[in-house]
Structure 1
């Protein structure tokens, strides 16, 4: 079955073992089904509406790294992320550039001093990268599920460039129950737990972005697949 067509039936059959190797966890409730409005959209990954612009947030820089795998060996749950860029008429935009960046499992960003724990990551570029969309407007990345830092719900920053003159800056988010499950059962997140963490209902940026910024997710073996349709006024 094509990865661009993850069906709800398939999602309902996916289960996962916790990091401790104990009881099985039913991940089926974390398959967020929202019908796409065009044949060529990633199934269930969003609706055809203009993605709201959100704050760029801290820690953006362009490392000029065109790469699909961006983790650089950082520990965490593997996240296969697809971002599909379309215009306002739901038509995919081949060749669109997508930049993403996010923190590691401990809430640390690359490339900046004064990170959690007093870390200085200046000169590093983990969890950053650029991809150009394929013929269906899809840019694909392999990364890890982001950790948390105080005051923000878990998120991934992105910039979508439908052409050389325009850019949409946004953030994508995850279902709160899914995030809590990962943080409580999957290493290394489980060593921190969720005490002190912020989730979508307490994050003003996530609330402002709304449902259109919530990624479609499904467990795929030991990894998590996530997808988001980003519609821009190109």
Structure 2
């Protein structure tokens, strides 16, 4: 289901103004452009190739999206084999490593699932949205290819990357890529009904505090999996553009959404079927989270009416 209305204020949509669009320049240019003022964006775009070079350091990283936002063909029926979020579980909380001061810890490695669009060839596909212009974005509710928006309860997710080896020092310049399902349990680019959409996917570069923030919606609950958000961490933009190939990714994991907030959200009519699916699940039986979930559960505040804010610290060992 798509909605023309943006659940977030216009000032949070980094790509809502056509004159400021910087299409097909790649992720590195996207990140450089987002640090500049609107007037500076227009000035750089007016410089053509020179402006692009200023953003990318002299070279474009990654190729453009297919014309018209198109994608490589999917198997018959539009859905790859295997269920959403399939694959073995991860290491569990027992495998996490704490900092010397005990204030942060690593997160378990988990399955990427079959719908990552990170170039890894999951489910026989090689989709890589990470080399598309526009993928570096805060607002994930709009499809870059079609402009359609997905409707759901607003969720602002902040993740802070820190180094466990140096007592939780912030990690700046890293890239976090997240993706999640719709209220109906579908994944953009893969599920048959939304194969032409690419919302609920996006990347951000960590700031000086090691933080990234995404504005998205609370995902639905489909049969067989506890409500979750997938994410990957890369060392820098150049690594992220290549996607999750040849051990290029630093961490693949998932966030587990707290049950109380899930039940509150799933009373919303847009999440039809989620309560029924949730009632048949538990964290102790989930194929991914059953071996430990404490480190992967964000702190959440907010309400269905006003939206939720979630935060999580992600420790990495360098």
- What range describes the TM-score normalised by the shorter chain of this pair? 0.7 to 0.9
Cross-structure match for 1:66: 136
Matched, 1:102 2:172: no
How far did residue 182 of structure 1 move?
A: 1.6
How far did residue 121 of structure 1 move?
A: 2.8
Matched, 1:127 2:183: no
Cross-structure match for 1:24: none
How far did residue 149 of structure 1 move?
A: 0.9
Large movers: runs of 4+ above 6 Å: none
How far did residue 233 of structure 1 move?
A: 1.2
Whether the 8 Å contact between 1:176 and 1:200 is mirrored in structure 2 is no
C-alpha deviations, 1:125-171, integer Å up to 9, x for none?
11000100111000110000000111001000000123445510000
How far did residue 174 of structure 1 move?
A: 1.4
For this pair of structures, how many residues does the alignment match? 186
1:226 aligns to what SS in structure 2? strand
- Call closer, same or farther: CA 1:120–1:177 in 2, change over 3 Å: same
Whether the 8 Å contact between 1:162 and 1:232 is mirrored in structure 2 is no
Higher-helix-fraction structure: 2
Rg larger in structure: 2
Higher-strand-fraction structure: 1
Provide the alpha-carbon RMSD of the alignment. Answer: 2.4
How far did residue 209 of structure 1 move?
A: 4.3
Residue 107 (structure 2) aligned to one of 51, 60, 65? 51
Distance (whole Å) between structure 2 residues aligned to residue 148 and residue 70 of structure 1: 19
Cross-structure match for 2:169: 91
Matched, 1:229 2:313: yes
- Identify which range, 98-107 or 214-223, moves more after superposition: 214-223
Cross-structure match for 1:148: 221
Map 1:210-225 → 2, pairs under 5 A: 210-219=293-302, 222-225=306-309
- Call closer, same or farther: CA 1:193–1:205 in 2, change over 3 Å: closer
Whether the 8 Å contact between 1:48 and 1:231 is mirrored in structure 2 is yes
Distance (whole Å) between structure 2 residues aligned to residue 93 and residue 199 of structure 1: 33
How far did residue 47 of structure 1 move?
A: 4.8
Distance (whole Å) between structure 2 residues aligned to residue 99 and residue 219 of structure 1: 24
Distance (whole Å) between structure 1 residues aligned to residue 228 and residue 175 of structure 2: 20
How far did residue 178 of structure 1 move?
A: 1.9
Distance (whole Å) between structure 2 residues aligned to residue 58 and residue 122 of structure 1: 14
- Call closer, same or farther: CA 1:162–1:208 in 2, change over 3 Å: farther
- Call closer, same or farther: CA 1:71–1:47 in 2, change over 3 Å: farther
2:136 aligns to what SS in structure 1? coil
- Identify which range, 144-153 or 64-73, moves more after superposition: 64-73
Matched, 1:182 2:265: yes
Whether the 8 Å contact between 2:221 and 2:277 is mirrored in structure 1 is no
Higher relative contact order (CA 8 A, sep 6+): 1
Distance (whole Å) between structure 1 residues aligned to residue 138 and residue 274 of structure 2: 29
Q: For structure 2, list consecutive stretches of 5 or more residues without a partner in the other structure.
A: 1-98, 118-127, 143-148, 240-247
How far did residue 52 of structure 1 move?
A: 1.1
Distance (whole Å) between structure 1 residues aligned to residue 213 and residue 100 of structure 2: 20
